[in-house]
């Protein structure tokens, strides 16, 4: 996942200004109400049960994943993780499929085998929702404050592990899910097989997934997608990622999720706009035209200090908490259970 740099902002501003005129004309055309395309929860009182997610077990899942070690695309660790997750989801009744593809390694040019892991719950349902996370880790902690360490080990507890741990914990619940949608997980490979920010491509797995969805449309359709990325910080703060809060087909869903959290008293979901982030949800939205909300805490570190553990050696399980992850899972679960 990547923040926009200054040059990109400038370019966007230039493009934005030239679009404004056109947008004004378009805006005057009769609007299609968001409600037709977007998922909302009921407007009445929310049914909130106690948190059915087990925070301690969620944390143990995170530790289990991180104990494997580095899990970048094509690594031995990634293979171990795939085996672990396949076993876990199948034991809990999920239908697991690998969506395999190959890319050229950005350094060596050699082919790298990649696989998105797709898990289906209630596979017979035609209207589905996608819950996703990337499960590869960055090859190196290349933002570590110590230059010596930038070719060291990157564990990726929050960035790469936390979303997966939440999905592992949520997997215990789908047999009890009373909502009308089918649920698909997709764990994206190749989110950041990145050695050089300016040269290497992000989002290889989500791009492949989105392109396949367009190229060979399945018999079902995705009504929306929720991306979980960096949701494990002990000091969790979740403003609404900027794209998710502003895309026309997504903003209603995003507001609905945050409103659900508010009604539940989960104050970590903050109903204001946060960073604009480039993440896997861009591929789902731009290529596959799926409304896609990114739940992400980009301010990863102790509160009130100018310290970030993002892409450093410090991104380890002790900076994360089971409570944070279980709260995020609880909000997703409650929102899905209350869809009208």
18 contacts: CB under 8 Å, gap ≥ 6: none
**Rounded to the nearest whole angstrom, what is the least distance from the CB of residue 265 to Zn ion in the complex?**
30
- Among 13-21, 52-60, 159-167, 193-201, the segment contacting Zn ion (CB under 5 A): 159-167
CB–CB of 78/117 below 8 Å?
Answer: no
| 333 touches 170 (CB < 8 A) | yes
Q: Which residue is nearest to Zn ion (CB)?
A: 159
Q: How far is the CB of 237 from Zn ion (least distance, A)?
A: 17
Is residue 297 close enough to count as binding Zn ion by CB under 5 A? Answer: no
Three-state DSSP class for residue 58: helix
Choice between 140 and 258, CB closer to Zn ion: 140
Q: What are phi and psi of 209, to 5 degrees?
A: -60, -45
Dmax (CA) of the chain = 58
Contacting residues for 336 by C-beta, under 8 A, at least 6 apart: 129, 177, 179, 181, 183
What distance in Å separates the CA atoms of residue 168 and residue 87, rounded to the nearest whole number? Answer: 11
Least Å from the CB of residue 241 to Zn ion: 14
Interface of this chain with Zn ion, residues 37 to 76, rule: CB under 5 A: none
Taking the complex as a whole, how short is the minimal distance between the CB of residue 138 and Zn ion, in angstroms?
5
Instruction: Kindly tell me which of 192 and 233 has the beta carbon lying closer to Zn ion.
Output: 192
Measured from the CB atom, is 71 or 88 closer to Zn ion? 71
**Least distance from Zn ion to the Cβ atom of residue 315, Å:** 9
- The least distance separating Zn ion from the CB of residue 301, rounded to whole angstroms, comes to 14
- The 10 Å Cβ neighbour count of residue 276 is 16
E strands, the chain, where? 2-3, 95-104, 111-121, 127-134, 182-188, 221-229, 238-240, 269-273, 277-278, 292-296
**What SS3 class is residue 335?**
helix
Q: Which is nearer to Zn ion, 138 or 223 (CB)?
A: 138
For Zn ion, the closer of residues 184 and 280 by Cβ is 280
Provide the pairing of β-strand 2-3 with 277-278: antiparallel
3-class secondary structure, 71: coil
Instruction: Give me the phi and psi of 51, to 5 degrees please.
Output: -60, 115
- Binding span for Zn ion by CB under 5 A among 36-44, 152-160, 200-208, 285-293: 152-160
> Between residues 141 and 182, which has the closer beta carbon with respect to Zn ion?
141
- Comparison of 202 and 333: residue with beta carbon closer to Zn ion: 202
CB of 156 to Zn ion, least distance (A): 7
Contacts with Zn ion by CB under 5 A: the residue count is 3
Using the contact rule CB under 5 A, the part of the chain among 19-27, 53-61, 63-71, 157-165 near Zn ion is 157-165
CA dist 129 and 290 (Å) reads: 10
Please identify which residue in 136, 159, 241, 315 interacts with Zn ion, judged by CB under 5 A: 159
Give the pairing of strands 111-121 and 292-296.
Answer: unpaired
Q: Considering the complex, what minimum distance in angstroms separates the CB of residue 216 from Zn ion?
A: 30
Binding mask of the shown chain, residues 180 to 219, with x at each position contacting Zn ion by CB under 5 A? ------------x---------------------------
245 vs 277, which CB is nearer to Zn ion? 277
Q: What residues numbered 1-30 form the site for Zn ion, per CB under 5 A?
A: 1
- Name the nearest CA neighbour of 325 among 179, 192, 89, 157: 157
Contact segment (CB under 5 A) with Zn ion among 7-15, 155-163, 217-225, 316-324 equals 155-163
CB of 32 to Zn ion, least distance (A): 35
**DSSP-derived secondary structure letter, 288:** T
| C-beta of 1 vs 132, nearer to Zn ion | 1
Distance CA 241, CA 243 (A): 6
Could you list the residues that contact Zn ion (CB under 5 A)?
A: 1, 159, 192
């Amino acid at each position: 996942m990547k923040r926009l740099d200054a040059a990109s902002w400038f370019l966007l501003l230039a493009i934005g200004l030239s679009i404004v005129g056109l947008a004004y004309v378009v805006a005057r055309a009769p609007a299609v109400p968001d409600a037709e395309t977007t998922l909302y929860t009921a407007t009445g009182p929310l049914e909130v049960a106690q948190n059915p997610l087990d925070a301690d077990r969620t944390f143990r899942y995170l530790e289990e994943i991180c104990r494997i070690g580095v899990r970048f695309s094509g690594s031995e660790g990634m293979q171990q993780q795939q085996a672990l997750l396949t076993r876990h989801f199948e034991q809990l009744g999920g239908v697991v499929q690998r969506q395999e593809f190959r890319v050229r390694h950005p350094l060596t040019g050699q082919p790298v085998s990649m696989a998105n892991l797709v898990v289906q719950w209630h596979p017979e349902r035609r209207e589905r929702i996608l819950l996703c996370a990337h499960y590869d880790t960055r090859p190196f902690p290349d933002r570590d404050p110590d230059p010596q360490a930038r070719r060291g080990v990157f564990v990726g507890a929050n960035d790469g592990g936390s979303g997966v741990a939440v999905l592992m914990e949520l997997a215990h619940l789908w047999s009890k899910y009373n909502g009308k949608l089918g649920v698909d997980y997709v764990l994206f490979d190749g989110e950041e097989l990145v050695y050089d920010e300016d040269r290497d491509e992000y989002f290889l797995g989500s791009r492949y997934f989105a392109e396949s969805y367009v190229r060979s449309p399945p018999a079902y359709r995705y009504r929306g997608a929720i991306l979980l990325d960096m949701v494990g910080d002990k000091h969790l703060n979740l403003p609404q990622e900027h794209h998710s809060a502003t895309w026309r087909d997504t903003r209603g869903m995003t507001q609905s999720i945050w409103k659900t959290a508010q009604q539940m008293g989960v104050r970590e979901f903050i109903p204001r706009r946060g960073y604009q982030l480039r993440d896997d949800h861009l591929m789902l939205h731009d290529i596959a035209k799926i409304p896609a909300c990114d739940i992400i805490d980009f301010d990863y570190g102790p509160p009130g200090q100018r310290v970030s553990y993002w892409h450093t050696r410090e991104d380890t399980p002790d900076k994360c908490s089971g409570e944070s992850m279980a709260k995020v899972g609880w909000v997703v679960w409650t929102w899905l259970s209350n869809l009208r």
